Structure 1
Amino acid sequence: MSTQRPIDLRSDTVTRPSPAMRRAMAEAEVGDDVYGEDPTVDLLERRTAGLLGKEAALFVPSGTMANQIAVGLHAGPGDELICDARAHVYVWEAGGIARHWGVQARTINPHGGLIGLDHLRDKIQPDNEHYVRTRLVCLENTHNRAGGRVHPYDSVREVADWARSNGLAMHLDGARLMNAVVASGVPASEWASHFDTVSICFSKGLGAPVGSAIAGSAELMRKAHRLRKALGGGMRQGGIVAAGALFALEHHVDRLADDHANARLIADAIERAPGLSLESGPVETNLVWIAVDPGAGTAREVADRLREAGVLVSALGPQTLRAVTHLDVSRGQCERAAGAIVEVAEGMAARA
């Protein structure tokens, strides 16, 4: 067992605030945000709206809540949304679209996980009392379960044009939108311009301890305030955590390129490791999804061996692992992790 502190690649949510971020949080000017009196929350919301080119934004505790508010804004009982079958809003939000809003999902299984116009042309339900009403299209960028891939910008624009021509709303789950911005060079406001609502998470690659936001028109955000309250998301002196999100926006965006480079380093090791392969093709951002050949063991067995070697990864399926780079793992640590991955894989192959 390694005596060094484990190199934690389970998620980019495991980061801890730096001393500078902690100081910003401790010194934040605060008030009661439910009364609209927290100046730091107000500043974060204005800056987020500006970043995304929207009229207004709303600070919420989590990305799940941001996405759920978006669904509630655009759809209700007897309505349907369209999303990828592996989208976060469908798979990892505890059935919220049905629990909270009575909304049904029509899921698409595109090759590679990224929905394009060709997947959607015939998916609107007929205007007939026998069918649910198609109301909303949800895209995820970057797409977690599609290997952290970035949607092609032109494809997003085509989907948005099609949706608007058919009277459908568009929501972007932009939990890792800034990763897409850094990887593509397309500004956040350009991505967001094709959507009625956009969520963004501050506690993933950006490294804040808490918080997400949803942005859209001023009218939609007024309605979003009511839905946030109904979901229990009204925070009081929220400026303490909003200050961490502000610090992240100001200091942790450009450095996402380092995470992407480190993820490619891990990916190179996977391609050298017997019994392991990249599940979703070339790595584009900070997520590395790994397929474990059944002959090499199970994902849990590989994860356990890596833990013994001082590297933490997530087993997210019988034969699926995920490694995520972030600001709390250095280049040197990723180099050590890459070496451990190859060594563990070779050892398991030798014993097979």
Structure 2
Amino acid sequence: MLRGFFRAGQQVLQTAKQRKFKVGRFYSYSSVTSRVYNSSDMIDIDFRSDTVTKPTDAMRQAMASAVVGDDVYEEDPTVQKLERKSAEMIGMEAALYVPSGTMSNLIAALTHCNQRGCEMITGDKTHMFLYEQAGVCQFGGVSINTVKNLPDGTFDLAEMQKHIRSRDLHEPTTALICVENTHNKCGGRVLPLSWLDELVEISKKRNLPLHMDGARIYNAAVYLGVPAKRIVRGFSSVSVCLSKGLGAPVGSILHGPKEFIARARRLRKALGGGMRQCGIIAAAGIVSLDSMIDRLAVDHANGLALAKGIAALNHPLFKVVVDSMQTNILVFEVDPKRVDAKEFCAKLQETTDEQLSALGGKDICVKAVPFEAQLIRLVINHHITAEMVDLALQKIAVVMKEYN
């Protein structure tokens, strides 16, 4: 048996060598998110997303002592408290706690688009269009009509109105307009209030509901210096994520009128989103709304410092637009002819003898996401400190020099 274990160990090491695997870290260029274990002297800086955070001590304490009931029967007092609190903060009549932002957006779209053969309009770079498996198409027979997103996350409102369809019997009927705020793919940009107000007026004239994927709406609120309810004024529904910048372990909240949320609750059940005694996790959401919003300004400051630091390296193959850095998401460009974003992200995670020497012996692992062949995303979260930003910049500078 021992010989069998020995042979298995040898096979693992051989496979590791073939996959650029160094003891303690996984470097496969096909995956930049995995690692076997962390060495004790390794500095791990995770910029992949603000979803990677661990619950705070206050959240864990609240979860441990949460009073719970069966939420499918609407008998969980902690869930009810979270929903009331969030609805008040967003300025809407009611709210519904769901497992994820993807489910929240799906429920919202299917509640608004309640007939097969209708469609929703959204930007071509929105999360709902790119990263949610076209769930509205899969489960609701709803088509998606896209408008080109501008760099700031908005889209041309005159062009959007050309996409509205309602009369021709050959075409689907437009039933919903959706926006994303802050805008992930556009580098965490905040939609201007003046643009949102104009969109609201258009939707009223065209008698179309508006849904906001406000996964990071509190980042937008902190950046603008206004309450979140001001941002969504005039919208029919809004989804807010608790497990991104706010740091809760699980959950999003869908908001809207009481009748809308009643219909949404039925859809949540149909989609398998009834979570029974989920007050245990809702308790962490209450803590996140109470204590994690104002501190988002720290994330924004660290994100700006990161953007300025990379720009200051002044490498011709890497482009950072510092003026577009508004919140906690940094998306920067690489020259795709000389730099492969996926390979660059893999190099940020690995440690070579040359890197150790250049970094004074510091073993720094920086995790980032290759967005496209020419785009890299780094996201600040509440675990990232100013010191970690400085260390990450050291590692980024060393890896960039490999492309000189």
Question: Counterparts of 1:16 and 1:68 in 2: how far apart (Å)?
Answer: 26
Question: Counterparts of 1:338 and 1:103 in 2: how far apart (Å)?
Answer: 44
**Aligned-pair CA distance for 1:26:** 0.7
Q: Which among 54, 66, 86 is matched to residue 48 of structure 1?
A: 86
Q: Which among 324, 337, 344 is matched to residue 282 of structure 1?
A: 324
1:208 corresponding residue in structure 2 = 248
2:403 corresponding residue in structure 1 = 349
Task: Answer yes or no: is 1:153 the counterpart of 2:193.
Answer: yes
Q: Answer whether contact 1:269 1:339 (CA < 8 A) is retained.
A: no
**Aligned-pair CA distance for 1:110:** 3.2
Could you tell which deviates more after superposition, 39-48 or 113-122? 113-122
Question: Counterparts of 2:85 and 2:57 in 1: how far apart (Å)?
Answer: 23
1:265 corresponding residue in structure 2 = 305
Describe the SS at the equivalent of 1:179.
helix
Give the aligned CA root-mean-square deviation in angstroms. Answer: 1.5
Q: Answer whether contact 1:147 1:279 (CA < 8 A) is retained.
A: no
| Mapping of residues 164-183 of structure 1, within 5 Å | 164-183=204-223
Task: Answer yes or no: is 1:335 the counterpart of 2:373.
Answer: no
Task: Answer yes or no: is 1:88 the counterpart of 2:127.
Answer: yes
**Aligned-pair CA distance for 1:105:** 0.8
**Aligned-pair CA distance for 1:281:** 5.7
Question: Counterparts of 2:60 and 2:83 in 1: how far apart (Å)?
Answer: 20
Could you tell which deviates more after superposition, 310-319 or 324-333? 310-319
2:9 corresponding residue in structure 1 = none
Q: Which among 301, 312, 318 is matched to residue 367 of structure 2?
A: 312
Q: Answer whether contact 1:51 1:189 (CA < 8 A) is retained.
A: yes
- Structure 1 residues 110-138: Cα deviation after superposition (integer angstroms, max 9, x where no partner): 33131242332322114021111011100
- Structure 1 residues 266-310: Cα deviation after superposition (integer angstroms, max 9, x where no partner): 111221341211379620000001211124420112111111241
TM-score, structure 1 normalization: 0.96
Q: Which among 98, 107, 119 is matched to residue 146 of structure 2?
A: 107
**Aligned-pair CA distance for 1:224:** 0.6
Q: Which among 354, 372, 381 is matched to residue 326 of structure 1?
A: 381
Describe the SS at the equivalent of 1:151.
coil
Q: Answer whether contact 2:101 2:239 (CA < 8 A) is retained.
A: yes
Could you tell which deviates more after superposition, 74-83 or 120-129? 120-129
Q: Where in structure 2 are there 5+ consecutive unaligned residues? A: 1-24, 26-38, 351-363
Describe the SS at the equivalent of 2:370.
strand
Q: Where in structure 1 are there 5+ consecutive unaligned residues? A: none
Q: Answer whether contact 1:31 1:37 (CA < 8 A) is retained.
A: yes
Question: Counterparts of 2:219 and 2:388 in 1: how far apart (Å)?
Answer: 21
Q: Which among 212, 217, 236 is matched to residue 196 of structure 1?
A: 236
Residue type at the aligned position of 1:285: T
- Structure 1 residues 135-177: Cα deviation after superposition (integer angstroms, max 9, x where no partner): 1100100010011000010100101110111011100000000
Q: Answer whether contact 2:87 2:255 (CA < 8 A) is retained.
A: yes
- Structure 1 residues 180-229: Cα deviation after superposition (integer angstroms, max 9, x where no partner): 00001121111122210000000000000000000000000000100000
User: Bigger radius of gyration, 1 or 2?
Assistant: 2
1:228 corresponding residue in structure 2 = 268
Question: Counterparts of 2:246 and 2:338 in 1: how far apart (Å)?
Answer: 35
Residue type at the aligned position of 1:310: C
Task: Answer yes or no: is 1:299 the counterpart of 2:341.
Answer: yes
**Aligned-pair CA distance for 1:321:** 1.0
Describe the SS at the equivalent of 2:138.
helix
Residue type at the aligned position of 1:219: E
TM-score, structure 2 normalization: 0.84
2:98 corresponding residue in structure 1 = 60
